[in-house]
Amino acid sequence: MMCLLQQDQAGVLQQDQAGVLQQDRAGQETAEPWSSTTRLRPVARTGDVPLMDIVQRHGTPAYVMDETDVRERCRAFRAALPDADILYAAKAFLCRAMATWIRQEGLGLDVCSGGELAVARSAGFPAERIVFHGNAKTPRELLEAVEYGVGRIVVDNLAEITRLAALIPPGRRQQVLLRVVPDVEAGAHTAIRTGGEDQKFGLSIASGDAAEAVSRVLARPELRLVGLHCHLGSQIRAAEPYERAARVMVEQLAHVRDTYGIVLPQLDLGGGLGIAYLEDERGLTPEAFAGTVLKATRDRCAALDLPMPLLVIEPGRSISGPAGLTLYRVIAVKHTLTRTFVAVDGGMSDNPRPSLYGARYTARLVGRRSAAPARQVTLAGHHCEAGGVIAESVALPADVRPGDVVAVPATGAHHHSMASTYNLTGRPPVIAVADGAARVVVRREDIDDLLRRDVGL
Ligand SMILES: Cc1ncc(COP(=O)(O)O)c(C=O)c1O
């Protein structure tokens, strides 16, 4: 499918016949995959901050996070599922500012490591609103979770039950959810499909581990089983897999009720809602997700004579992903016999997704107007791997040159959080923008940071 938005000679958004541009309240145009306050003309800006101001003040590469967009997405989930417990999945992107926005918007937090827990803690995120995940939580992580008093811990394997129970101080009971495998395959890439039998997460229903875990948790007075959990995978752009998962999970709740006479009050269906990375893509909206999941859960509960459980969901990417963009400086333009490479000052260390999952991106020239026609180029990174490409077949003005700045949208999730220091490249800063103001919420990692860890000589 052709890209629906094209860059015209002046670097301006053009509306094609499919009419994907939407009018916002101010009568301005906004379109996926850009954040809701991003405008590409007359001057490219996000949160009313010109992107070139950010470049001038903070350099490149830089992640820009649109606070307004994050907050709007939290509110959209709350509006679509007013009775649900909505937890933001911190693995998508977490820093203290983000934790604060999430708390202020009334969402809870799903963390999956001691590091994520520590950031949440230092931002004052209320312990009871935190859910702790992980398929191989270390004893230390479990202890930290218990010491902070996190609301719920999601048990992922049988050994964890005894380990966790042993850590609970006398007189306390830890609420737990059990992660079970619904055997529903969904997700954009095998590496991020976690709902099927043949992967490392959760307790298999088919093997009997899930039933065994229920019986073991119920036998531990230190633990209180409050529900079942599943997570199908990530970047799921259709609601149908959630419908199947909801049915399987309600059947498991009924199985617990039939076996033990206990009605578990919570059903956590995880996250995974997909977003648009390209102009012709559409994400799974909270409304579409909610409509499908609520109906499937209600119908199955009614059929099995179960009360409607408290639904818990854990969206990550669909809250922070579209809110982010990355700014890069063009360093070199190279023409081979087959294509044009536009090489920039970042790449696989700030965005590993193309290398890991074959993820696709688009990009725009920002900061100057060009009268040149658009040309398909490969946006390459500066790391020492031929595969270190940010985006293939991106339409940029044919006169793109060293010194230009390009913006890559939809980089708010699984970018900063998955960034590395490959080639001893420091990680970019995160600049939060809102209402005309920009502030550094995570500073750039510099060579001193990198050298500080190198204690050998
Ligand atoms: C248990 C769990 N919940 C929620 C999420 C969030 O997924 P997404 O960011 O795709 O919404 C993940 C992602 O890996 C996960 O593992």
Quote the ligand 1 centre to 348 CA distance (angstroms).
Answer: 22
Assign a CATH topology to domain 7-66+323-451: Lyase, Ornithine Decarboxylase; Chain A, domain 1 (2.40.37)
What integer best gives the mean pLDDT of the chain?
A: 92
Report whether residue 316 contacts ligand 1, using a CB cutoff of 6 Å.
yes
Find out whether 353 is annotated in a ligand binding site: yes
283 in contact with ligand 1, CB cutoff 6 A: no
Residue 307 known to bind ligand = no
Catalytically active residues are 384
**Where, residue-wise, is CATH 2.40.37.10 in the chain?**
7-66+323-451
pLDDT in tens, 417-445: 999 999 999 999 999 999 999 999 999 99
pLDDT tens-digit readout, 95-118? 999 999 999 999 999 999 999 999
Percentage, residues of the chain above pLDDT 90: 88
CA 12 from centroid of its chain's CA atoms = 29
Confirm or deny that 121 is annotated as ligand binding: no
Q: What pLDDT does residue 267 have?
A: 98
Amino acid at 444: R
The span from the CA of 41 to the CA of 56, in Å, is 19
pLDDT at 5: 35
Residue 92 beta carbon below 6 angstroms from any ligand 1 atom: yes
Residue 18 has pLDDT above 50, yes or no: no
Average pLDDT over residues 192-217: 90
- Cβ–ligand 1 contact at 61 (below 6 Å): no
Q: Does CATH place domain 81-317 in 3.60.150.10?
A: no
CA atoms within 13 A on the CB side of 58: 28
Cβ–ligand 1 distance for 273 under 6 Å, the answer yes
- Mean pLDDT for the stretch of residues 217-222: 98
385 is in an annotated binding site: yes
Rounded mean pLDDT of 412-416? 98
- pLDDT computed for residue 30 by the predictor: 57
Rounded mean pLDDT, 66-85 = 98
Beta-ladder partners of 365: 406
**Taking a C-beta distance cutoff of 8 angstroms, is the pair 378, 342 a contact?**
yes
187 Cα to the center of ligand 1, angstroms:
11
As a whole number of angstroms, the distance between CA 95 and CA 107 comes to 15
233 annotated ligand binder: no
Pocket lining: 268 vs ligand 1, CB cutoff 6 Å: no
Determine the residue of 77, 110, 311 to mutate for testing ligand 1's pocket, defined as the one with the most ligand atoms within 8 A of the Cβ atom. 110
Q: Which of the four pLDDT bands, split at 50, 70 and 90, describes residue 266?
A: very high
The residue whose CB lies within 8 Å of the most ligand 1 atoms, and thus the one to mutate among 74, 152, 179, 314, is 314
Start-end of CATH 3.20.20.10 domains in the chain: 81-317
Question: Does 231 sit in the ligand 1 pocket, CB within 6 Å?
Answer: yes
CB atoms within 10 A of CB 237: 16
Closest residue by Cα to residue 442 from 140, 97, 110, 113: 97
116 alpha carbon to ligand 1 midpoint, in Å?
14
For residue 145, report the distance from its CA to the centre of ligand 1, in Å.
19
